[in-house]
Amino acid sequence: MDEAKRTLERVKNFHYILILEGIAVGAFSGIVIVLFRLAISKAEEYMAILREFASHRAFMTAALFFMIFALAMLCAFLVKKESLISGSGIPQVKGELTDRIETKWYRVLAFKFIGAAAAIGAGLSLGREGPSVQLGAMVGKGFSRITKKLHTEEKLLMTCGAGAGLAAAFNAPLAGVVFSLEELHKNFSEEVLLSTMAAAITSDFVSRYVFGLAPVFAIETPEMLPLKYYWIVILLGILLGVLGVFYNASVKKTQNMYGHIKDTFLRIIIPFIFAAVFSMVYPSVLGGGSNLVEGIAGGEFMLKGLLILLVVKYMYSMLSFASGAPGGIFLPLLVLGSVIG
C-alpha cells in the first residue's frame, strides 16, 4: 500500500517534479555549453595568434601546420573510437529518442566536447549548435541514469537537455524550446513544454551570466526597412529556400563522395588540409563565421568580396560538414544567408 501510495503521489506531482528536474538539467547543460563555448573561443584565439606569427616568421608556418595536423589526428582518433560523435549529433539524438540507437552518455559527452572544440577551433567551417544539442542531451541522459529515472522520463530529460544546449549556445531560450518540441520530441504535451522551458531558461541564465546580455549577433539597424520594400524580403525568402534545397542536395552528394573513403583519418583530414591553406591565404572563411555576420552587416565587404566569400564559404562548409568531423551546419548556413542577403 505504501509503495502504491508513493507512486500515485509521484504521478500527481509529476509536472512539478519535471520542472525541477528541467531546471537541474538546464543548469548542468548551461555549465557544459559555457565551457564548450569558452574552449572554442580559446582555441580560435590561439590559432589566430599562430596565424599572425606565421605571416611574419616562416618557421611559425610549420608550427601552424603541425598544430592543425595534430587537431586533425585528434578528431579522427575520437571519431574512430566513438562514431556517434561525428557530424552535428542531432540525428544521433533523434535516433536515441526513438530507441534506434543506444549511447554511453559519458563517452559521447567527453569525446564530442573535445572533438568539436578541436575541429571548430582548427578552423573547419562548422557550427557549435549541433554539438551543443547533443552535449545537452547527454547531460540529460546522464542526469537520468545517475538519479535512476524511468525510460520515458529519461527521454523527457534528454529533450530538456537538448533544448537547454541550443539555448545556451546562442542565448536563445525560445529557439531551444521550439527546436526541442518540433524537431526532437515532436510532442506538445504539457509535461514536455514546461520542463523544456524550465531547462532552456535556466541554461540561458547560466550562459548570460558568463557571456553577458549582448546577443550573439550584435547587428545594428539604424532604421527600419520601409514597407514599400517588403516585397524584396519575400523574394529573398524564396531565393534562400531554393538555394537551401540546392545546398542540402550538394551536402548529400558530397557525403556520398566521402563515403567512398573508408579510412576515417583520410576522410577527416581533407577539410583540415583546406583549413591549413585558408589560414595563410583566406582566413575569413575559417570557423563557424559568427564574426563575419557583424562584419557583413557593417559593410566591411564590397560586392566582389561578398561573391568570393559566398562561393568559398559554401564549398568549404560542405567539405567540412560532409567529412563527418564533429560540428554543426547551422551557423555556417546563417553566415551564407547573411552574405546572400
Same domain, 260 and 151: no
pLDDT at position 288 is: 74
Q: Which of 168, 185, 211 is the last residue of a domain?
A: 211
Q: Which amino acid is at 136?
A: G
Directed axis angle between helix 105-122 and helix 14-54, to 10°? 30
Boundary (domain end) residue, out of 148, 182, 211: 211
Question: Are residues 136 and 12 part of one domain?
Answer: yes
**Mean pLDDT in residue range 39-58:** 84
Question: Does 222 reside within a domain?
Answer: no
Look at residue 127 and give its three-state secondary structure. Answer: strand
Instruction: Please tell me what DSSP assigns to residue 76.
Output: H
Tell me what the mean pLDDT of segment 326-332 comes to. 83
For residues 106 and 253, state if they share a domain.
Answer: no
pLDDT, greater one: 249 or 8: 249
Same structural domain, 148 and 66: yes
pLDDT band at residue 5, thresholds of 50, 70 and 90?
Answer: low
pLDDT more than 90, % of the chain: 24
pLDDT value, residue 29: 94
Question: Quick check: is 130 in a domain?
Answer: yes
Q: What confidence score (pLDDT) does residue 30 get?
A: 93
152 and 15 in a common domain: yes
Average pLDDT over residues 298-313: 75
pLDDT band at residue 318 under the 50/70/90 scheme: confident
The radius of gyration of the chain's CA atoms, rounded to the nearest angstrom, is: 21
Most confident of the following: 130-144, 255-269, 298-312, 323-337: 130-144
Tell me if 219 is assigned to some domain: no
- Residue 144 in domain: yes
Tell me whether residue 299 is in a domain. Answer: yes
For the segment 191-247, what is each residue's pLDDT rounded down to a tens digit? Answer: 788 888 999 999 999 999 998 877 766 666 666 777 877 888 888 888 888 888 888
- Residue 216 inside a domain? The answer is no
Structural domain contains residue 308: yes
pLDDT at position 299 is 64
Residue 152, CA distances (Å) to 13, 98, 144, 191, 210 in order: 16, 11, 10, 12, 33
Q: Is residue 97 part of a domain?
A: yes
Please give the pLDDT value at position 141.
92
Residues 73 and 141 reside in one and the same domain? yes
- Of these ranges, 27-31, 88-92, 119-123, 190-194, the one predicted with the greatest mean pLDDT is 27-31
Same-domain check for residues 20 and 147: yes
**Is the same domain home to 39 and 170?**
yes
| Same-domain check for residues 300 and 235 | yes
Which pTM was predicted?
0.87
From residue 103, alpha-carbon distances to 154, 313, 333 in Å are 13, 33, 28
Q: Tell me the range of 137-141, 185-189, 329-333 where mean pLDDT is highest.
A: 137-141
What is the extent of the structural domain holding 47?
Answer: 2-211
pLDDT at 218: 64
Considering the chain, what is the average pLDDT of its residues?
84
Do 139 and 244 sit in the same domain of this protein?
Answer: no
* Span 246-272, average pLDDT: 86
Helices 151-170 and 190-211: angle between axes, nearest 10 degrees: 40
The last residue of one of the domains, among 211, 243, 265, is 211
Give yes or no for residue 3 having a pLDDT over 70. Answer: no
pLDDT recorded at residue 107: 93
pLDDT reading at 2 higher than 60: no
Q: Residue 234's CB: how many other CB atoms inside 10 A?
A: 9
Domain total of the chain: 2
Give yes or no: residues 248 and 314 share one domain.
yes
Q: Are 43 and 120 in contact (CB under 8 A)?
A: yes
Where b means 16+ CB within 10 Å and e means fewer, 61-89 reads: beebbebbeebbebbbbbbeebebbbbbb
Out of 10-24, 62-76, 200-214, 308-322, least confident range: 10-24
Mean pLDDT value of segment 116-143: 91
Give yes or no for residue 10 having a pLDDT over 60: no
Helix/strand/coil percent split, the chain, to 5? 80, 0, 20
The pLDDT score that the predictor gives to residue 119 is 92
- For residue 79, give the CATH number of its domain: 1.10.3080.10
* Predicted local distance difference test score (pLDDT) of residue 150: 80
Query: Are residues 112 and 42 part of one domain?
Result: yes
- State the pLDDT at residue 316: 87
pLDDT per residue over 61-108, tens digit each? Answer: 888 888 889 999 999 999 999 989 988 888 898 888 888 988 899 999
